[in-house]
Amino acid sequence: MPNFTVIWLQSGGCGGCTMSLLCAENPGLTERLEDAGIELLWHPSLSQATGGEALQQIEAVLGGQRRLDALCVEGSLLRGPNGTGRFHVLAGTGRAMIDWVRELAAVARHTVAVGTCAAFGGVTAGGSNPTDACGLQYDGRYPGGLLGTGYRSGAGLPVINVAGCPTHPDWVLDTLQLLARDELAAEHLDQFARPSMYTEHLAHHGCPRNEFYEYKASAVQPSDLGCMMEHLGCLGTQAHADCNTRPWNGEGSCTRGGYACINCAAPEFEEPGHPFLETPNVAGIPIGLPTDMPKAWFIALSSLAKAATPARIKQNARADHIVARPSRKTRRS
């Protein structure tokens, strides 16, 4: 079988999705690519080729001499100033990156947005969005973006949005490997064209703070062990991602690291409308409720759970290490 060829371009992002990719392990990145038959025609951080040699790869694809199985774009697409794309002119070419991306997307069998920036605009589109940044096929939560709603790649798929800030190395490699095996179809994408293999879970699943969540025993300051939903801005119960069942860098995740999930794989996560690390509430009830949870039930269950919270859980929730241990069940003789 011929190799699955990839050109990877970086634009209005931080390079962090590539850095995260390098954290792939068991097997590591280079072995994984080799085993999956994935060939990087060009990747700006990894390839041997530089300057003219790199541009030749791109030209060969555009000239039809080289087949391009996947165009991966990392970073948002900068349309400004005034639609010129001049905020990123690809070095050595005098040409805006958005023009290169449009042209390559037109010939690619698949187009993959790596990271929330390339998918939806992400952090670069935050605040006043000074560069008129957007995603490949989304502008925030609205379809469109650089390539437009009608865009379909050579294989007939929309842009595949491997969102995340950054992306987990497995999300990216699993997606590419599935594409290489022809095993990723439209039905495997969610409502934002993200591969549902990682977005059909919630970041809440597998969170080690679940017992605190159950009893609404809440952390009040960073480093407390309790649930961070009530006060510290945690969106784990609403975030579509498998971060706590597919850990990061060995055993990690945001909530395991002691800080809130900020729902970074979602469109417009960069503008939550309140400070990231505070939970907005109305009369003590958090405004964002757990996904699929009716409000009345949440309120009822919360007050019941709070009333039933064991002392152990209440104490530990506001400590940075276990101060009360589980009691031992005495056996009836």
Partner 1 sequence: MSRLVMGPFNRVEGDLEVQIETADGRVSSAWVNSPLYRGFEQILLGKAPEDALVYAPRVCGVCSISQSVAAAHALADAYGAETPPNGVHAINLIHANENLVDHLTHFYLFFMPDFAREEYAARPWHETVAQRFRAVHGSAAAEFLQARAEFMHLMGLLAGKWPHSLAIQPGGCTRAVTPRERLHLGNIVGSFRRFLEKRVFGSPLEEIAALDDIAALRRWQETHAPSRSDFACFLELADDTGLASLGRAADRFMSYGSYRGPEGATHFARGVWHDGRHSRLDIDGITEDVSHSWMAGETEPPARGLTQPDPERQDAYSWCKAPRLHGGTVEVGALARQVVDGQPLIRELVTESGGNVRNRVIARLLETARVTLAMVAWIDALRPGEPFHVPTRSLAECAGVGLTEAARGSLGHWLTIEDGRIRNYQIISPTTWNFSPRDANGRPGALEQALENTPIDDDGANQPIAVQHIVRSFDPCMVCTVH
Residues 110-169 that bind partner 1 (CB under 8 A): 123-124, 126-131, 133, 165-166
In this chain, which stretch among 19-27, 184-192, 296-304, 306-314 interacts with partner 1, using CB under 8 A?
A: 19-27
The sign of the CA dihedral 88, 90, 91, 94 is negative
**Nearest-angstrom CA–CA distance, 194 and 177:** 15
Radius of gyration for the alpha carbons in the chain, expressed in angstroms and rounded: 22
| 218 secondary structure, DSSP code | B
209: tokens are 């703070």
Binder to partner 1 among 112, 113, 163, 264 (CB under 8 A)?
Answer: 264
Q: Which is nearer to partner 1, 78 or 189 (CB)?
A: 78
**Nearest-angstrom CA–CA distance, 41 and 59:** 12
- Minimum distance between the CB of residue 155 and partner 1, rounded to whole angstroms? 26
Q: Does 12 bind partner 1 (CB under 8 A)?
A: yes
- Minimum distance between the CB of residue 115 and partner 1, rounded to whole angstroms? 9
Amino acid, res. 255: T
Q: Which is nearer to partner 1, 157 or 217 (CB)?
A: 217
Q: Which is nearer to partner 1, 189 or 207 (CB)?
A: 207
The residue whose two tokens read 């039930």 is 297
- Residues 226 to 255 in contact with partner 1, rule: CB under 8 A: 243, 247-255
Q: Does 78 bind partner 1 (CB under 8 A)?
A: yes
- Minimum distance between the CB of residue 77 and partner 1, rounded to whole angstroms? 12
- Minimum distance between the CB of residue 103 and partner 1, rounded to whole angstroms? 16
- Minimum distance between the CB of residue 279 and partner 1, rounded to whole angstroms? 13
Binder to partner 1 among 66, 86, 205, 318 (CB under 8 A)?
Answer: 86
Q: Which DSSP string do the residues of 151-167 spell out, in sequence order?
A: ---TTS---EEE--SS-
- Minimum distance between the CB of residue 302 and partner 1, rounded to whole angstroms? 24
Q: Which residues contact 276 (CB under 8 A, 6 or more apart)?
A: 233, 260, 262
Q: Which is nearer to partner 1, 151 or 248 (CB)?
A: 248
In this chain, which stretch among 51-59, 195-203, 204-212, 299-307 interacts with partner 1, using CB under 8 A?
A: 51-59
Q: From residue 204, how far is each of 8, 85, 152 by CA, in Å?
A: 32, 39, 33
- Minimum distance between the CB of residue 315 and partner 1, rounded to whole angstroms? 15
Q: Which residues contact 153 (CB under 8 A, 6 or more apart)?
A: 105, 108, 109, 110, 111, 159
The residue whose two tokens read 């970073």 is 75
**Nearest-angstrom CA–CA distance, 38 and 264:** 27
Q: Does 15 bind partner 1 (CB under 8 A)?
A: yes
Binder to partner 1 among 150, 275, 284, 294 (CB under 8 A)?
Answer: 275
- Minimum distance between the CB of residue 129 and partner 1, rounded to whole angstroms? 8
Strands 77-78 and 133-134: antiparallel
Q: Which is nearer to partner 1, 156 or 222 (CB)?
A: 222
Q: Which is nearer to partner 1, 121 or 286 (CB)?
A: 121
Q: Which is nearer to partner 1, 67 or 86 (CB)?
A: 86
Q: Which residues contact 245 (CB under 8 A, 6 or more apart)?
A: 201, 205, 206
Phi–psi pair at 144, nearest 5 degrees: 140, -95
